[in-house]
Chains A and B, each alone.
Chain A
Amino acid sequence: MLHIINKSPTNSPALKQCLKRAQQGSSILLMEDAAYALISKTEASSQIKQHMNRVSFYVLEPDIKARGIGEKIISGIQRIGYNDFVKLACSQHPVQSWF
């Protein structure tokens, strides 16, 4: 299944709440302000790293670019555009949004 988070990890518990429930083999897409969760050397990105071996992480490239954090995010994340976002949402179901 696909989980979508769109809130900043330092302003919302959405990331923590999602990570607690995401099962092995599921995908998590970080979009809008959730992209900030990927900045290296932060509590949020280290939590994400702990789940990388069992969950696939995606982020929307336009959100990274808008926020000026392209150079700051951890490796191992698949950066996708809007077309791949649509494909992802169509190929994985159900979809759960955390906001």
Chain B
Amino acid sequence: MPPQKKKFLFVNRKAPYGTIHAHEALEAILTGAAFEQRISILFLDDGVFPLLKEQNSGDIGLKDFSPTYNALSLYGVENIYVDEESLIERGIASDELSIKVELKTTKEVCLIMEQQDVIFNF
């Protein structure tokens, strides 16, 4: 019997562009997905900002990687969670996000974290 695949959670906690964290997280997620791992993603705190629609970073000389989040489903990543409280604190409504996500309460977020084998932080 093949060994049971581990459960990986990628936690995104940083805004895009100001630091490289959000973009690096996405690259790591896609690489993990290419190896068919059991991947979940959690967008928490400032990590919800990269999901806003209509980003256009041409004028600041950086690549706009927000369209790439739409490819996650094609890569087989299905568990995409967003901390609802983080959205509210930042004045963002869920329909302003560019992809379909599952909204989670603080309590649910804690549970999701505890259920993982490995957590990657960005």
- B57 touches A (CB below 8 Å): yes
Known pairs A66-B59, A68-B52; A39 contacts B91 (CB<8 A) = yes
Interface of A is mostly: loop
Distance of A77 from chain B, by nearest CB (Å) = 15
Instruction: Tell me which residues from 1 to 43 in chain B have a Cβ below 8 Å from any Cβ of chain A.
Output: 13-19
Contact between B60 and A66 (Cβ–Cβ < 8 Å)?
A: yes
**In the complex, which residue of chain B has the Cβ closest to the Cβ of A70?**
B54
How many residues belonging to A are interface residues under a CB distance threshold of 8 Å?
A: 24
Residues of A within 8 A of B89 (CB): 10, 42-43
Cβ contacts B41-70/A at 8 Å (1 or 0 each): 000011001001111111110101010000
Contact between A7 and B54 (Cβ–Cβ < 8 Å)?
A: no
Contact between B91 and A62 (Cβ–Cβ < 8 Å)?
A: no
Distance in angstroms between the alpha carbons of A51 and B118 in the assembled complex = 45
Distance in angstroms between the alpha carbons of A27 and B52 in the assembled complex = 29
Distance in angstroms between the alpha carbons of A32 and B53 in the assembled complex = 17
Contact between A36 and B15 (Cβ–Cβ < 8 Å)?
A: yes
What number of residue pairs across chains A and B have CB atoms under 8 A from each other?
70
Distance of A90 from chain B, by nearest CB (Å) = 21
Interface of B is mostly: loop
**In the complex, which residue of chain A has the Cβ closest to the Cβ of B66?**
A68
Known pairs A6-B18, A10-B46; A42 contacts B90 (CB<8 A) = yes
Residues of A within 8 A of B66 (CB): 68
Distance of B62 from chain A, by nearest CB (Å) = 7
Contact between A66 and B91 (Cβ–Cβ < 8 Å)?
A: no
Residues of B within 8 A of A32 (CB): 17-18
A sample of 6 more A-B contacts (CB under 8 A), given A65-B56, A66-B62, A68-B54, is A33-B17, A36-B49, A45-B91, A65-B59, A66-B56, A67-B52
